[in-house]
Amino acid sequence: MRRLVRVSVLGLVLILASAACVYLISLRTPTGFLPEEDQGAFFVSVQLPDGASVARTSETSRQIEALLRTMPQVQNVFAIVGFSIIDGVNEATRASSCRP
């Protein structure tokens, strides 16, 4: 019986120590849903039909940039023509716009 009481006390001490560790770690861990590194960037991927020229892709990309710049929430915009940031494809019919 004494052994059972000693083991249960040891178990209780371990549970309390674990709870204290979890509590202390939670004080140091960020509580926000988004990490602090996230600056609100978003990506727009554009894919034109097969056979579209780079000039057409570039013009479409400029139109998207102009549209994004009209939004007051958007500070900066840049575009990469011929490459898709989202899926990493190099094609003349693809473009990516990004708001960093």
Q: For residue 80, what is the enclosing H or E element? A: strand 78-83
> What mean pLDDT do residues 69-79 have?
84
Report the pLDDT value the prediction gives residue 20, as an integer from 0 to 100.
96
pLDDT in tens, 3-60: 767 778 888 999 999 999 999 998 888 776 666 666 677 788 888 888 888 888 888 8
> What mean pLDDT do residues 61-85 have?
85
96 with 83: CB under 8 angstroms?
Answer: yes
